[in-house]
Chains A and B, each alone.
Chain A
Amino acid sequence: MRFSGNQLRFILPVFILLIAIILLQLFEPVLLNNKKKNWNKELNVKNELIEKSVKNIFNEKIDSLKFILNKVKKIIKNENGSQEKIIPLINQHALSKFSVVITDSNGEVFAWTRNILFNNFNPRNSNKINNVSITKSNLIVYLTYNGLLDYDSTAYYISVSLPLEKEYRLQNKYFQKISLTGLLSSKFNTQFEINYSGKNPHKNDGRYYSFFVENNNNKIALVTFKKPNFDINLNNYRQNLKNIKYVLLITVLLLLGVYLFIKLKELNNKAIKYFTLLSYLVILRYTVYVSGLVSSWQTSGISNPAYFSSSFAFGIVKSPVELFVTCIFVLVFVIQLYTFVLGISNKKTTVNKSVKLYFITTISLLLIFFLTYRGFAASIRSVIFDSTLVYFNDHSLFPNVTTGLMYINVLLMGFIFLLISFIILLIIYVFAKSVKNFNLTRFLLIQFFVFQLFGIFFDLVQNNPQGNSLIRILFVTFTFLLLIFHILSKHKKFIKFIYILFAGSAFSVILMIFYNNQLEKESLKIYARDLINPNDGWLEFLVRESLLNDFTRKEALEAFDNPSTNFDASAFKIWSKSSLQKESFISEIGFLDYNKKFLGGFGFRISELPGPNWSNLKNVLSDITIFKENLPNSGAKIIRGIFPVKNDYALLGYVEASVIFDIGNFGFAEPPEFLKAPPLHQKQIVQTGELKILEFINDSLKNVWGDIRISYPDVDKIDNIKLNKEHEAFRIINLNGANYKIYISQVIRNKKTKKIAVAIREKDLSFQIFNFFKIFFFHSLLILLIILIYFVYILSRKKEIKISLQTKLLIAFLIVSLIPLILLALYFRNLTEQKNKDAVFYKLGKRAYSIETYTNDHLTPEADNIYEVFEKASSELNINFSVFKNKKVSYSTESLFYEISLIPKLINPFAFNTIENLGAQDYITIDAVEKYKYNSFYYLANINHKYYIIQVSDAFNNISLPMSGNEVDAFLVASYSLAVLLVLILSSILANQISKPIRKLTQATVAVASGDLDIQLEEKAGGEVDDLIKGFNYMVHELKRNQLQLAEVEREAAWKEMAKQVAHEIKNPLTPMKLATQQLIAAFKDNSHKFENIFNKVTGTIINQIETLSKIATEFSNFAKMPSLKIERIDLRKVIKESIDLFLEESAGISFASELENVFIEADYDQLKRTLINLIRNSLQAGATEIEITLNSNEDSEHFDLRIKDNGCGISDENLPKIFDYNFTTKDKGMGIGLSLAKKYLEFIHATIQVEQTTNRGTTILIRFRKSK
């Protein structure tokens, strides 16, 4: 078997890759065995490497601390110890990772950094000078380097620290994770434990490896890690080998695919071609899926089914990236299917197909069309419901990677389904064309109404129709518009694809918004059900889990072991790492000593909780005990758990966890933003703070939660809503002038009817528009990118891109309109942001002044009740604030956060510096807790002739603005997107209107250059363009007249010349004829004896001269017959296409279809083109709106048949025999020589022309050409 060069290019690498796969398979046991043998050696090397790397990491940190310390020393020296200058310098961005404290010899803090969370450094402990040590605050473990600078007779004790471990975790986006243990565990892919106390011994277990990290013989930390596991390593190695094999296999398939693609191009049987393509795509997709290579991609969660997965099609869409890959495969096939159907639609259709077949096909395809629509809507529904991605709650314009990939998937789905729907319509159109008496307008109108009616019926018969009526109607309408566009326009496939992309995007996003609204309903349902039937078992489990997890036990033991433990902080750590934080229930963690005395605790949304009622419990608890209690003076339930903490010797104390369940749980005593967990679950797209809850007991409104005023008629409205058999209902009702979505759930228990109504306000139109444009904008950018890539591709092939006048005008209009729009939007955004900021600080400032005034008004003369007055001020004025004295916080309504060191006790250094050193009255700044930034107003208050700095911030005070940042963004994006859309549409229309007459003129000029002098343009444009057209028409008319005149003159001159020539030629033989006859007459008269000789000679001469005359006549006749033509081998398809192109601006649709590839004939190129132009023009002048030109091979395979079929008025029976006659015309301005000349010319090149068919609905001209040999 031999392969050609081209085939070898593919077969050879495929063969090599297959050999590689087989070898890999064969040698795999050998490789694995080799790994087993070398494992111990490898393990030792790994362990040593890890130890070295960890020590390097520590050394780098230590070096950085030393570097910063030296830098700080330089700053102090350079600034001559000026506090005012040193504070800003040590707070510069380069030092932001570090905590720096400079104290004097009395331990008084001199300068510090913003992120200071450590302030226990005792400078008198000289052991710590120039030494690296581990220091702990309440929540964080630091690596610290202390130094001393003696400068200008002042001793500066400098402590520079780098955080290593945060011992707590906030389960929201604000948390700044710092964990050396976590970093090392993920870097080396094994479990790490770092003991900073240095007390715990090495683990002797052979599974672990321990070593000390030291600095100057000081043990800093004991690092222990679990040795790399042989089985895990072997499995990973095995998996890598498997992945390599799959990669090779997929490469083989891709190479085969390319080879197949080239071979398929040569196939004539399209059905086999596309079936083969489909099979190949299925095999390739299946192989990719089974290999798991796509799913093993862990980048940014794109392979995580938690973000999106569906069980459709056996799991090939089980993650965002799998969905993307599947969409690409389907896309490739659908585009090929479209090309296939397009080819069929362009072919000449044999008329007289059966009407019955047409109806059956139409009904089947109609059903498939609506199934496709249903499939489309269901897919988008799955994107919303089978996903935990929140597409619309996040207001950022640019999505993260996973959400961005889902946006791309949605765009692809929109395109694919819309294209399939269009293909279905196209097939119906092709079938319709083959039926007798086909009329396009009638076809479109009837089909459109049939489709819309069927759509209504289709929705009625389904239990659960997808989408809504409006979306369905728009979808059908748009698909029909696509069909009309396809039939009437000459645009390339790519342009049509772009339109389908934009439309697909729009429909996808509309469906996403539709289903998102349904998801809101589901979200309300979940809230309502949870409220009406709280799951006690779940609450008990939460309490149990928070007490029994490993961290709680470890932390509790350490807390009781350390005499200086801050139990509040320890309780916070336990709470932060438990599920209590995630679930956002009102909860508390507390420590009790062995005498059950409260030592400290942390409460979430509750400051004081009564202690447990020990009377119901055993005196000494041996194990965890869970019990329920009622909160005094409230209907709330407390679920409590108490767990005894013991070491080997004795009971040390108790840890207590409590959860309070109350309907008021849900979002009313709002915690500070930085402590909020995401909404109960990401998929709960309704934020708890947005909820309004109404509780009815026995049909009477008992409680209302949420910021809502509700009148009695509204209460009745809600109470009277009819419930379904599940005792639930969903409505959209108007309450207090605004529309609310409301979900009601009812339960009857202990003869009491309890009804809960959970409501959210409907978002206004600007949010809906914002939601639409947010995703549409992203899609538009992608489509623009595709257009750009396409242009680059064209440029690379053709080396130039012709940009039409219309496109140039459009670009110019867009630049002129969009740039100012965008600038205006940015300006308005910045202005609003600034105004909002000013408003916030103004409101915070007012609060600070109020505190000062209130305090002064309520202080006793001795001012000994200042903290009580602060307390009262806070509750009466409803303001949360902190007061600083001598740099430290002396009072705060949020004292717990200071106590546990989540917020530093030292004042913001810039605030201190500005107010104390620079003499300002107030200072505004952005403070931060973790990554949560908030606005703070610092005010120097004079309270009873003493100065305090009052801080008021929007972290703990609700400052409402007329328009929040998100609302401004939504409004701007919505309104400016509409404006951009309007600008785009208007610019397109204007550009088209302005350039249309120019385009027509260009086409007409080209037609004139090709010899068509019958062309006349209509004057409709107005203005100078009309003058131009008028001038053009006149020029063409004059050209034609001059051409005819010239032809006439030339003809006359030619005839004269010819006549002169002929006369001259004829005279030559006539003279000897005359002389010979005269000689004969003389001989006869003379009775000459030579008469016979003379007679023979004279008759011979006369006959010769007559021969000469005859020759002259023949030559003349031939000359008269023959035009001067250049006959050569020409491509008939090219001539036809060029002729059609001259009529692009005509409103009639001219199509050309031919399956033939090589069509060569012998003819004169220009004359043939003129002939075809003439025939097309005749059709147009006969009123044709559709002209179909087809080129086929004749049955005898010696000829090509060119048919020009139009739907004009036809030729009457009377005129039919005369149309090829010279000087016959039915036109007012015609000369009647066109068809005559055409026939003459065609016959000259051995072609024939005839009228194959003519009726009052159209004419078909058949030209039969002889094939070139």
Chain B
Amino acid sequence: MKQKFFIVAFLFVAGFSVVNAQFHDSKMPLTTQHKTGVDKIFSNVYSGLLNGDVSRITKYIKSDVSLNLKSGISDYFSPSQAYYVLKDFFKKYHLIELKILTTKKTTDFPYASGTAKYKSSGLSGNLQVFYSLKKINGGWTIAQLTMN
């Protein structure tokens, strides 16, 4: 009897965890997004890129995002994929300098572009950086991020 109870309890807990993980995506804090302006998003993305702080960037990725990276990555990624792809990227490439030369905030696709210097395995180089936002469900999400 105890054994049966244990199995049922275990299955329930496992099932709950599975459901929780699945529903995780649907519990997005959109209210925060509505209040966040483009400025704040750009500022956070800038810091995230410079410090390799992926969470700071990916909290603004709410749908498929186009990533074009120096490491050869060039595709659309889901939000959860984007996190690990960027994490992998920043493990190899560290930005030592980031200059945003152009920003346009008043269009349907606000964007910022500039240049960056990086170091990777003792080698250094330059990157062209671009990121743009789009509106989904009334909130901003990063549509594109290029570091190439």
| Chain A contact residues, CB within 8 Å of chain B | 189-191, 226, 228-229, 231-232, 270-271, 274-275, 278, 304-306, 308-313, 315, 318-319, 337, 340-341, 344, 361, 364-365, 367-368, 371-372, 374-375, 378, 382, 385-388, 420, 423-424, 427, 430-431, 463-464, 522, 526, 529, 533, 535-538, 540-541, 544-545, 548-550, 579, 582, 681-684
- B112-148 contacts to A, CB under 8 A, are 113, 115, 121-123, 125-126, 128, 130, 132, 134, 143-144, 146, 148
- Chain A residues with CB under 8 A of B74: 582, 681
- What are 6 A-to-B residue pairs whose CB atoms are below 8 Å? A304-B88, A311-B83, A368-B12, A375-B18, A427-B4, A538-B130
- B47-81 contacts to A, CB under 8 A, are 64, 66, 68, 73-78, 80-81
B85 and A306 contacting across the interface, CB-CB below 8 Å: yes
Would you list the 7 A-B pairs with minimal beta carbon distance, nearest first? Answer: A229-B122, A305-B84, A537-B111, A375-B18, A311-B80, A371-B15, A309-B84
- Chain A residues with CB under 8 A of B134: 529
Question: How far in angstroms is the closest Cβ of chain A from B145?
Answer: 11
Which of B11, B108, B110 gathers most chain A CB within 10 Å?
Answer: B11
A427 and B7 contacting across the interface, CB-CB below 8 Å: yes
B66 and A319 contacting across the interface, CB-CB below 8 Å: no
Which of A318, A341, A420, A535 lies in contact with B111, CB distance below 8 A? Answer: A535
Q: A341-B7, A535-B132, A681-B66 are in contact. List 15 more A-B contacts (CB 8 A).
A: A274-B6, A275-B6, A309-B80, A311-B80, A318-B84, A340-B3, A361-B8, A427-B7, A522-B64, A526-B64, A537-B104, A537-B110, A537-B132, A538-B144, A582-B68
- Chain A residues with CB under 8 A of B75: 306, 388, 681-683
For B73-110 the 0/1 string (1 means CB < 8 A from A) is 11111101101110110000000000000101001111
A344 and B4 contacting across the interface, CB-CB below 8 Å: yes
Bound complex: CA of A464 vs CA of B132, how far in Å?
29
Main secondary structure, interface of A, reads: helix
- Chain A residues with CB under 8 A of B32: none
Chain B, Cβ-Cβ closest to A275 = B6
B85 and A305 contacting across the interface, CB-CB below 8 Å: yes
B35 interface contact, C-beta 8 A: no
Bound complex: CA of A232 vs CA of B124, how far in Å?
13
Bound complex: CA of A431 vs CA of B3, how far in Å?
12
Chain B, Cβ-Cβ closest to A431 = B4
B26 interface contact, C-beta 8 A: yes
B76 and A388 contacting across the interface, CB-CB below 8 Å: yes
Question: How far in angstroms is the closest Cβ of chain B from A723?
Answer: 16
Bound complex: CA of A319 vs CA of B21, how far in Å?
17
Main secondary structure, interface of B, reads: mixed
- A464 with B126: in contact, given A340-B7, A681-B76 (CB under 8 Å)? no
Question: How far in angstroms is the closest Cβ of chain B from A577?
Answer: 11
- A189 with B121: in contact, given A319-B84, A427-B4, A541-B146 (CB under 8 Å)? yes
B22 interface contact, C-beta 8 A: yes
- Chain B residues with CB under 8 A of A374: 18-19, 22
Question: How far in angstroms is the closest Cβ of chain B from A295?
Answer: 9
For B35-51 the 0/1 string (1 means CB < 8 A from A) is 00000000000000000
Question: How far in angstroms is the closest Cβ of chain B from A277?
Answer: 12
Chain A, Cβ-Cβ closest to B136 = A726
- A463 with B26: in contact, given A313-B21, A371-B15, A388-B76 (CB under 8 Å)? yes
Bound complex: CA of A272 vs CA of B85, how far in Å?
40
A424 and B84 contacting across the interface, CB-CB below 8 Å: no
B4 and A430 contacting across the interface, CB-CB below 8 Å: yes
A270 and B122 contacting across the interface, CB-CB below 8 Å: no
B146 and A368 contacting across the interface, CB-CB below 8 Å: no
Which of B8, B77, B104 lies in contact with A365, CB distance below 8 A? Answer: B8
- Chain B residues with CB under 8 A of A544: 113, 128
A375 and B113 contacting across the interface, CB-CB below 8 Å: no
Question: How far in angstroms is the closest Cβ of chain A from B29?
Answer: 16
- Chain A residues with CB under 8 A of B109: 533, 535-538
Bound complex: CA of A311 vs CA of B64, how far in Å?
14
- A305 with B88: in contact, given A310-B81, A361-B8 (CB under 8 Å)? yes
A386 and B78 contacting across the interface, CB-CB below 8 Å: yes
What class of interface size applies to chain B in its complex with A? Answer: 35 or more
Which of A318, A374, A541 gathers most chain B CB within 10 Å?
Answer: A541
- B8-25 contacts to A, CB under 8 A, are 8, 10-12, 15-19, 21-22, 24
B22 and A375 contacting across the interface, CB-CB below 8 Å: yes
Which of A310, A313, A367, A535 gathers most chain B CB within 10 Å?
Answer: A535
- Chain B residues with CB under 8 A of A371: 15-16, 18-19
- Chain B residues with CB under 8 A of A315: 84
Question: How far in angstroms is the closest Cβ of chain A from B115?
Answer: 8
- Chain A residues with CB under 8 A of B19: 371, 374-375
Question: How far in angstroms is the closest Cβ of chain A from B2?
Answer: 6
Bound complex: CA of A341 vs CA of B10, how far in Å?
13
B26 and A464 contacting across the interface, CB-CB below 8 Å: yes
- Chain B residues with CB under 8 A of A427: 4, 7-8
- Chain B residues with CB under 8 A of A549: 126, 128
Bound complex: CA of A682 vs CA of B143, how far in Å?
16
Which of A231, A386, A550 gathers most chain B CB within 10 Å?
Answer: A386
- A232 with B81: in contact, given A341-B7, A372-B15 (CB under 8 Å)? no
Question: How far in angstroms is the closest Cβ of chain B from A301?
Answer: 10
- Chain A residues with CB under 8 A of B122: 190, 226, 228-229, 231-232
B144 and A388 contacting across the interface, CB-CB below 8 Å: no
Bound complex: CA of A548 vs CA of B102, how far in Å?
14
- Chain B residues with CB under 8 A of A375: 15, 18-19, 22
A308 and B113 contacting across the interface, CB-CB below 8 Å: no
- A306 with B81: in contact, given A344-B3, A361-B8 (CB under 8 Å)? yes
- Chain B residues with CB under 8 A of A579: 68, 146, 148
- Chain A residues with CB under 8 A of B22: 374-375, 378
Question: How far in angstroms is the closest Cβ of chain B from A208?
Answer: 11
B15 and A309 contacting across the interface, CB-CB below 8 Å: no
- Chain A residues with CB under 8 A of B111: 535, 537-538, 541
Question: How far in angstroms is the closest Cβ of chain B from A581?
Answer: 11
- Chain B residues with CB under 8 A of A683: 64, 75-77
A271 and B2 contacting across the interface, CB-CB below 8 Å: yes
Bound complex: CA of A627 vs CA of B144, how far in Å?
22
Bound complex: CA of A382 vs CA of B123, how far in Å?
36
Bound complex: CA of A427 vs CA of B11, how far in Å?
11
Bound complex: CA of A672 vs CA of B17, how far in Å?
51
B21 and A312 contacting across the interface, CB-CB below 8 Å: yes
Which of B7, B109, B125 gathers most chain A CB within 10 Å?
Answer: B7
Chain B, Cβ-Cβ closest to A313 = B21
Which of B73, B115, B121 lies in contact with A306, CB distance below 8 A? Answer: B73
Bound complex: CA of A683 vs CA of B73, how far in Å?
12
- Chain B residues with CB under 8 A of A533: 108-109
A541 and B81 contacting across the interface, CB-CB below 8 Å: no
Bound complex: CA of A798 vs CA of B134, how far in Å?
67
Which of A270, A372, A382, A548 lies in contact with B128, CB distance below 8 A? Answer: A548
Which of B19, B22, B132 gathers most chain A CB within 10 Å?
Answer: B22
Bound complex: CA of A1065 vs CA of B73, how far in Å?
110
Question: How far in angstroms is the closest Cβ of chain B from A510?
Answer: 19
A537 and B113 contacting across the interface, CB-CB below 8 Å: yes
- A385 with B66: in contact, given A190-B122, A309-B84, A541-B146 (CB under 8 Å)? no
- Chain A residues with CB under 8 A of B73: 306
- Chain B residues with CB under 8 A of A364: 8, 12
Question: How far in angstroms is the closest Cβ of chain B from A496?
Answer: 19
Chain A, Cβ-Cβ closest to B63 = A522
Which of A191, A308, A318, A378 lies in contact with B123, CB distance below 8 A? Answer: A191
Bound complex: CA of A388 vs CA of B68, how far in Å?
13
Question: How far in angstroms is the closest Cβ of chain A from B24?
Answer: 8
Which of A309, A378, A538, A582 lies in contact with B85, CB distance below 8 A? Answer: A309
Chain A, Cβ-Cβ closest to B79 = A311
Question: How far in angstroms is the closest Cβ of chain B from A978?
Answer: 34
Bound complex: CA of A311 vs CA of B122, how far in Å?
31
Bound complex: CA of A378 vs CA of B80, how far in Å?
14
- Chain A residues with CB under 8 A of B130: 537-538, 541, 545
